[in-house]
Structure 1
Amino acid sequence: MLCEEDFKPVTLADREFFERHSELYPQTHSSNTFTNMVCWNHFTQYRYAYVNGNIIISGTTGGITRFHPPIGPRDPELMRELIQLAMKVSDNTPLIFIDPDTALWIRELEPDLELVPDRDNFEYVYRASDLAELPGKKYQKIRSHLNRFRRNCMSTVEPITPENLEEVMELLKKWRDWKGCDKNPVLSHEVEAAFYAVEHFMELRLRGFLLRVDSEVGAISIFERLNADTALIHFEKGLPDCEGIYKAINAETAAALADEVEYINRESDLGVGGLREAKLRYHPHHMVEVYSLKRPSPVSGARGPSRVSLREHEVLFAALKRTN
């Protein structure tokens, strides 16, 4: 029977294990990526169990543990054990980031369970060529802003390498100071995740670009390959020195990736209105949908009110992941 003792912390030493498993079972959502887990481990404590060829991930935030569905071969008994464990130790949303195929399978196994779409965690996937070329009337306003940036700012782009990682770190420190992260614990968590990614850039096999304005680094983009046809943007940061710099680093990154992948995943909006509008403005090709399992109500022997509701968790995490 699956139990909490089967789970152990996700650490940097687990990278090759997770990479081998991802090659067997490619992912489409960022929630299950190793980079996401180790970079954000200070905020959500990630653990995993390996059972019958499946990886099961748990994340604990604010004292509440929630689980991801198994990644691996379909195992009805294991799924039932996971649901039982999640119902025992979690809050009213014990199982999260359920992909549509797995949601259908769960409904076949346990028809009485309530699975609901988690729109705030749907991820936006764009054609790389669209982000690079900004074609047609629907991108006219973005093209206009980008062209204004290019007229007003002398810029160059280069890959992030071991030789310029220190400059990338300096950009993040300037961004931290600009945003006043020392007085804002939410932003402090975000910059800590980005620092970790840069400090372990080579170990995590990340890639990225930096954009120089008048020889100074003004923006960065850090990404990795998510699966065979999709790249995943983990971090994108820029300074306010030149209007339109975010549109510039976005376009430059997409132009470089367009020869390698068809799609770029730019993660979710987590229900933040301004962020949702900004992501929709770039006209996603499709969304990566996910579902959540809801605890039946009323529940006999319920654990009582959750200290951190799912919505509270989403709002906090949205603020952490927000880009300007």
Structure 2
Amino acid sequence: MTFKPLEIEDYATLKPCFEKQAYDLSPYSLLSIMAWNGHLYRTFWRIEGVSAILSFRSDLDPADRYLVLPVPPPAGLGADDLVRLAEGSDIPSFWFVPDDWVERIGRSALEARFRLTDQAEYGDYIYRTADLAELRGNRYTRKRNLIHQFEKAYVSRGRVAVEPIRRENAPECLAFLDEWCRLRGDCDPLGEDTLSCERRAVIAALENLEILEGIGILVRIDGTVNAFGIASRLNGTMATLNFEKAYPSVRGLYQYLDRECARFLFAGFEFINKESDMGLMDLAKSKESYYPVRQLRSWRLDLR
């Protein structure tokens, strides 16, 4: 089974497959796959029938490899099909198998051929778009108060502008990202840690936003970019908030950005996928504070 290295130019070939994809987990976002390619893992692909088959390999450890489910899933996808793909590619693992697809394929059939491991750190948080765009009710009182403080200090004084991210202003987003990383002090441009790799993924997304059909907004304060968010379609009812950055020192800015993202980037989608917490307690607390309607489960399958 032969795979091709993934390139940005392959987006147009893969797009028809991903337009029909049925999974809710964010690793099946084509923009995310493209942007993260070569950062932590390198991506390879092939077309088989109506589906794209994707494999991922770590540059640090070539033995660290995995597949994801076919995109879109062919009719009648079963455990035997996954065994055939694993054996044919000589890659014994599937990552990011959504819990509902474990049940749809058949847990007992999968357990007969694979060892199933819960990938708790990759469980995505799902929100209703209307909840985050409107922030109604007592549970969002603190969010509304922070936004009010930001609007009083900045918006009401004409100091804030919200714009779509375009080719012309993308360099300003890159400059903001560099400063955001400098202030954090832990975004090594050449590092292999998750935050350093995320920085390079954000750069790839910004530099190729039109090709990847992503959408984004930025927030200016006094003419300077202080925050931005990037989103992309995941499936017919859900889009993913792929990246969201804001200066933490500006009180209420993050909450303002998050609400504006929900209003402008997710129109037409019932749900927002805000990705996982990666097992980080502070990130989990932040995501839970927006009251997800559900948290997805992700499974790893290893051939027995």
Q: TM-score by structure 1 length?
A: 0.81
- CA separation of 1:115 and 1:244: change in aligned 2, threshold 3 A: same
Say if 2:178 is the partner of 1:182: no
Unaligned runs of 5+ in 1: 297-324
Of 272, 292, 298, the match for 1:264: 272
Alpha-carbon separation, structure 2, partners of 1:205 and 1:143: 31
Q: What does the per-residue CA deviation read over 1:192-218, in whole Å, with 9 as the maximum and x for residues that have no partner?
A: 111111111111111110111122111
Alpha-carbon separation, structure 2, partners of 1:110 and 1:275: 32
Q: What does the per-residue CA deviation read over 1:36-67, in whole Å, with 9 as the maximum and x for residues that have no partner?
A: 12211122101123223332211112321011
Residue 81 of structure 1: aligned partner: 84
Q: TM-score by structure 2 length?
A: 0.86
Say if 2:165 is the partner of 1:165: no
Say if 2:72 is the partner of 1:98: no
For the aligned residues, what is the CA RMSD? 2.2
Equivalent pair of 2:4/2:46 in contact (CA under 8 Å): yes
Residue 53 of structure 1: aligned partner: 50
- CA separation of 1:189 and 1:150: change in aligned 2, threshold 3 A: same
Q: Helix, strand or coil for the counterpart of 1:268?
A: coil
- CA separation of 1:15 and 1:258: change in aligned 2, threshold 3 A: closer
Alpha-carbon separation, structure 1, partners of 2:295 and 2:282: 18
Q: Which amino acid aligns with 2:291?
A: H
How far the C-alpha of 1:152 sits from its partner, in A, is 2.1
Alpha-carbon separation, structure 1, partners of 2:3 and 2:106: 22
Alpha-carbon separation, structure 2, partners of 1:78 and 1:146: 50
Alpha-carbon separation, structure 2, partners of 1:68 and 1:231: 19
How far the C-alpha of 1:98 sits from its partner, in A, is 0.9
How far the C-alpha of 1:145 sits from its partner, in A, is 1.7
How far the C-alpha of 1:288 sits from its partner, in A, is 2.9
Q: Which amino acid aligns with 1:23?
A: E
Residue 134 of structure 1: aligned partner: 135
Alpha-carbon separation, structure 1, partners of 2:248 and 2:290: 21
Say if 2:25 is the partner of 1:25: no
Alpha-carbon separation, structure 2, partners of 1:188 and 1:98: 26
Unaligned runs of 5+ in 2: none
Q: What does the per-residue CA deviation read over 1:146-193, in whole Å, with 9 as the maximum and x for residues that have no partner?
A: 222222233221111222122222211222222232378223222111
Q: What does the per-residue CA deviation read over 1:64-102, in whole Å, with 9 as the maximum and x for residues that have no partner?
A: 10111223313545322124357x545xxx221112343
